[in-house]
Each structure stands twice: as C-alpha cells, then as structure tokens.
Amino acid sequence: MSSAGSRVFVARLAGTTVFDPIGDQVGRVRDVVVLLASKGAPRAVGLVVEVPGRRRVFLPLTRVTSIDSGQVISTGLLNLRRFEQRPFETLAIGELLDRQVDLVDGSGTATIVDVAIEQQRSRDWYVSKLFVRRQPPGKGGLIRRRGETLLVDVADVRSLASAGVQRADLLLASYEDLKPADLADVLHELGTTRRLEVARALDNERLADVLEELPEDDQVAILSGLSLNRAADVLDVMQPDDAADLLSELPVEQATELLELMEPEEARDVRRLLAYEDNTAGGLMTTEPVILGPETTIAAALAHVRRQDLTPALASMVFVVRPPVETPTGRFLGVVHFQRLLREAPHDLIGGLLDTEIERVVADAPLSQLTRLLATYNLLALPVVDDERRLLGAVSVDDVLDHLLPQDWRENDTEETDRAMTEQMEAGRG
C-alpha cells in the first residue's frame, strides 16, 4: 500500500487505470465511495471501477496495494457484481464536488472543487483536505468563478454531510471524454431526480446523442421532464428515426404538441416515419443518409461522408438520385461505396461509379427481410424506395440490431458476457 500519509485528490483519480499485481489492466476508476459522518473525517472505503462491458463494480480500498503515478494497483480480487450505492454512501466525484459548504471561521461559504483522501497509519483512508473556492458576497449568492481558492482541513468546514446536492455540470466534466453510449450508462445508473438534473445540464446535441442510447423508459422520463420548448429543440437534433421512435412512446397529446414546436422540416420527416409500422423498413429507416446527385465529384462526396452526425454504417455509402435530393427524392439511381470513392480520382463524378445492383426494399418490408438482405450481401445499409423508385430513406444495420436484441439489452449483460469477463479477470489473477 502507499506509504502512510500519502494524499490523493479524487478529481485527478477519475479515469485512472486499475491494474492487477501482474500488470494486466482491470478497469478504470470512475468514483470514490466515502462514508460521511456528523463528527470526524469522512472515511473513504472503496473505488467505483468500470470494467470491460461498461459494468461498474466496487473495489474496496483494502484491496488496493498502491495508488501512485497515475495508476492503481489492486490485489487482483474483484467482485464483478454491479455496484449499487447504499443509502449511507456518498460518491466523492458524483456528489461532493461542487457542493457548497460553510467555513467555520465565519468568512462565508465555499464550493468544493476537489477532495483529498489520505491513508493513515491504520491503513484506513480518510478525507483529510478539501480544495475549495471561496464564495464572495454577491447578488443571489452566485458563485464567481474567480473567487479565492484554498486548501482547508475537513474540520474547517461544517454542513458537509448535510450540504446540498452537487451541481450537474461538474459531474459531467468528469465524464466529458465518454462516448454517448457510455454516458448513457452513467445516466441510467443514477436516481430518477439526479438523472434529470444531469440531462438538463447537457447541451442539445450531446443530450440527443445520449437519448438515442438509453432504454425507452429513461428516454421518456427525461424528455417528459424537460420544458416543452427544450424537448422540441432536442428532438430537432436527433436522428429522425430515433425521434420518431421516442415520440411514439409518448401520449398522443404530448407527441402532437412537441411536433408542433419542432422545426417544420424536422417535424415533417418525423411525421412521415411515424406513419409506418414499427418493425418495417419505413419504421426503421432514417431520412437523412448521404444523398447526392450523379454530377457530384468524388471530393465533394467524401466531404459529405465526413459529417460528424453520421454513424459508420451510414457513412459506408452514398445514395445517388435524380433531383430533388431531399427525401422523397427523384429517381433512385444506385449507390457508391465508400471504398470505391477512395480508389478513384477526386475530380471524377460519382455518377460513373454507381452500384446499380444493390438490393433495395419498399417501406413495408418486414424486419426479417431486412436482416436477410444485410447478412446475405454483407451490407451496412439498404435503400428504401417507393413504387416510383424514389428514395425514401435508408435502413442501417445498427437500427436493425436495436430491434433484434431484447428490449432490455442495454440494462442486462448476457450470461456469455458475464462469463467472458470473469475468465478475463481470473486470467489476470495469474
């Protein structure tokens, strides 16, 4: 174990890699579990560690042999049961950072910026210091970002155990590097009230990306907890097919009101998708793949494929049509695969590179047909056309998988996943 008196700041500990004794990576630290007390220093009892499969587990500090140089060394013994916070436990990063506390010297209030834990000679870890930002007097008690910062003993503040809940923005700062799917896992594990607070603190684009990765119940709860205008703004930046799926889970009156508040063009696409049955090509498709005319150059097509909002599946091909290029388009001509674009001269026109043999489906094609075609021809997306061969949209393999998997696949790991992770951990114990 680190030598007695070693001090670790928890905000810097977030994201640190956890290794077993032989050097194999076990996971990454996501938080520190502490026990607050009305008297005396809070005790740090363990780490919340994210292991393969995005599962968060509890690692007691008694099983940590070293916290040093940006790494945590454990004994290798790790319980893979999912971490569940108990009522008397507090998460240092998730709940303490950015709390307001009163200074004992009577100089006012301060905001917790970081928390230091130290190992005592007894080998127990306690919260020993708080790095705080003093809150100068001001209208409404607003925090001034340039307030004085200082390192104080835990005994120099009061109301730590009864302080208000941490603002969501600092919690999000500790997870800013997470992909939307990983941040969705974080939100799913929060309590209902806390989840909504954090969701409200996200910008519209980030929240839209995260909503698309959450279970339906969480999506509905979050969207219903936003103001109507904010909810409509978030729906505007979601993929039309995901927005339509979410609206279909809401009461009709609420969905109708939100559609009226959305941007007309975005609402038009969503209304079209809502008209289709759920497990059909029309119900699964997006109306916003990369759609271009045949006179477009390869260089311009590649620029369109670089759109950040595109999934890898939709970026795999360009759909070529006669004008207009907004769905429903003019006559569908074919597709140009991304790899083909990379092999040809940038000034060439995509109309000369068409794959006209690609399988296409109609809007009422069932899920079974889509699955069979994607698997048979190793495709990542399929064009959806109407009777006049106008392009209506595209079905991507990720949307098909979402509908093939059980509804609670985001919440429950399969037995095979559990077994694989257990074997990996056992191998790491050497």
> Could you tell me the residue ranges of all domains in the chain?
1-154, 178-275, 291-404
Cis peptide before 215 (omega within 30 of 0): no
CA distance 111 to 143: 8
Give the tens place of pLDDT for each residue, 43-90: 999 999 998 877 889 999 989 998 976 899 998 777 778 888 877 788
Split at pLDDT 50, 70, 90, the class of 424 is very low
Domain 1-154 has CATH 2.30.30.240: yes
DSSP notation for 193-248: HHHHHHHHHS-HHHHHHHHTTS-HHHHHHHHHHS-HHHHHHHHHHS-HHHHHHHHH
Higher pLDDT: 322 or 420? It is 322
Cβ–Cβ contacts within 10 Å for residue 132, how many?
Answer: 25
| Residue 424, burial from CB neighbour count under 10 angstroms (0-12, 13-18, 19+) | middle
The CATH number, out of the four listed (1.10.1740.10, 1.25.60.10, 1.10.3720.10, 3.90.330.10), of the domain defined by the range 178-275: 1.25.60.10
Determine if the peptide bond prior to 251 is cis (ω within 30°). no
Residues 116-145 pLDDT 10s: 999 988 888 999 999 999 877 654 444 445
Strand partners, 201: none
**pLDDT tens, position by position, 166-200:** 556 666 766 777 888 888 888 887 777 778 888 98
CATH of domain 291-404: 3.10.580.10
